[in-house]
Amino acid sequence: MEDLWSVAAAVFQLWMFVVVFLIMLPAMFGLSLGVTGVYIQVLVKILEWATVRIQRGQQEQPSVPVPLPSGIIERASGSMQEVLGQQFALSDVLFFCKKGLESIVDDQVTQRFSSEELASWNLLTRTNQNFRYISLRLTIIWGVGVFIRYGVLFPLRFTLAIIGLSWLVIGTTLVGFLPDSSVKNWLSELVHLTCYRICARGLSATVHYHNKENRPQKGGICVANHTTPIDVVILANDGCYAMVGQVHGGLLGVIQRSMVRSCPHVWFERSEMKDRHAVTSRLRAHVAAKTKLPILIFPEGTCINNTSVMMFKKGSFEIGGTIYPVAIKYDPRFGDAFWNSSKFNMVNYLLRMMTSWAIVVNVWYLPPMTLQDGEDAAQFANRVKSAIAHQGGLLDLDWDGGLKRGKVKDSFKEEQQKMYSSLIVGHNGINNL
């Protein structure tokens, strides 16, 4: 029995040495030992081999499923004006029937709220189409991968997450007791930065930052597309931000209360969130103080599945000040970063993230943008959204992310009706029928 305890103690000591000295301390100083890079390169080689083996299996075994293309149906190109022309015809009814059926079968909105399906299997058990039974070697590699992800990576990542969150709560609470000064601000940023870096290592996150000269500055507003709550951790690895959000209870509430003691984060009560003017007033006051950290806002208001950028709420662009756009794009080969909040709660989602291969993401800092003459907040929001979508290689959609839980607004329907009526009526009266 004593031998068993001695072995357990030796394993625990080795485990803590790896966690503290080989992962946590380098992460705190923004250093890397290169282990994660080698791990990603090995993963790429394995996934490439698996893809080739799956393609060969599809040729040898007709029963092997073939991945669906990105679109279920083939849509005809061309706008309403190009297809219908300028004069009324009874066949116009067929155009609207066709568009309606296309929306029922494969609309552009609801598919943005479900996980992106890969063209080939990435050896994760959660992929809809599993190919592990094609060959014995592929099955063995899949089994070894399950053991590594759940038996090695998950305990390691869970340990790092606990250390990072505990450090965040304790560190920000202690810093909060200091009087307001430049030293307090420096310590607060240091605590936030180190804790987020530890949490990022807990997800095996590999982040590539581009155009760092455009990083958000104090007194500005950082806006980014939103795929997952981990977006905050990814961005905060390269700089500190003032967070904006609703006050929560439980563990998340404890973290929020400790963070706000050391840093001027902007937390709103549920009743305040419904008061648009109160929210705008508090954010405008924060931006006016040029010494405060840049505000981090996700104008979509909900998570989108890493393929598109949906409508930006204009409230973030009514505050004033400089907007610093950021485009975030995750590599889906190593794990699905999208959080489907209607299907998984936060704990379940984090467990899925911690048992993925890794989190590989590209972050692009775009040049700062300001409101132009003759431009309203909605037009400004659309211009920023288009720039983010173009840089991140994402689809630029005008639909409201609120459709994830709500119905289509009547204004969208009326817009299509007005567009069609303008074709028929014209500017100077009814056209010849």
**Which tens digits make up the pLDDT trace of 146-165?**
899 999 889 988 888 888 88
Nearest to 123 by CA among 223, 32, 53: 53
What pLDDT is stored for residue 73 in this prediction?
A: 44
Q: Which residue has the higher pLDDT, 154 or 343?
A: 154
Q: Which residue has the higher pLDDT, 325 or 264?
A: 325
- Inform me whether the pLDDT recorded for 430 exceeds 50: no
3-state DSSP assignment of residue 117: coil
What CA–CA distance (Å, rounded) separates 433 from 424? 9
- Inform me whether the pLDDT recorded for 121 exceeds 90: no
Confidence tier at 234 by pLDDT (50, 70, 90):
very high
Q: Which residues contact 99 (CB under 8 A, 6 or more apart)?
A: none
User: Helix, strand, coil % (nearest 5) of the chain?
Assistant: 50, 10, 40
Residue 262 placed within a domain: yes
Q: Tell me which residue has tokens 């009514």.
A: 318
Residue 24 placed within a domain: no
What CA–CA distance (Å, rounded) separates 13 from 164? 19
Note down the domain range covering 314: 136-413
CA distances from 413 to 98, 188, 237, 407, 420 (A): 16, 49, 43, 11, 11
Residue 34 placed within a domain: no
Residue 73 placed within a domain: no
- Which range has highest mean pLDDT (78-82, 120-124, 206-210, 416-420)? 206-210
Q: How many CB atoms lie within 10 A of CB 179?
A: 6
3-state DSSP assignment of residue 9: helix
Contact in structure between 357 and 149 (CB atoms under 8 Å): yes
- Inform me whether the pLDDT recorded for 78 exceeds 70: no
Nearest to 391 by CA among 371, 361, 362: 362
Count of domains for the chain? 1
Q: Once rounded to an integer, what is the mean pLDDT over residues 217-231?
A: 89
Q: Once rounded to an integer, what is the mean pLDDT over residues 308-326?
A: 87
Tell me which of 27-31, 79-83, 192-196, 200-204 is least confident. Answer: 79-83
Q: Tell me which residue has tokens 């399906």.
A: 117
Tell me which of 110-114, 238-242, 306-310, 390-394 is least confident. Answer: 110-114
* AA letter at 292: K
What CA–CA distance (Å, rounded) separates 165 from 158? 11
Residue 36 placed within a domain: no
Residue 87 placed within a domain: no
Structure tokens at 294: 């840049």
Q: Each residue of 255-314: pLDDT tens digit?
A: 888 888 888 888 877 666 666 677 778 788 888 877 888 989 998 888 888 888 988 888
Residue 79 placed within a domain: no
Confidence tier at 360 by pLDDT (50, 70, 90):
very high
Structure tokens at 153: 């990576």
Tell me which of 183-187, 257-261, 348-352, 380-384 is least confident. Answer: 257-261
Residue 20 placed within a domain: no
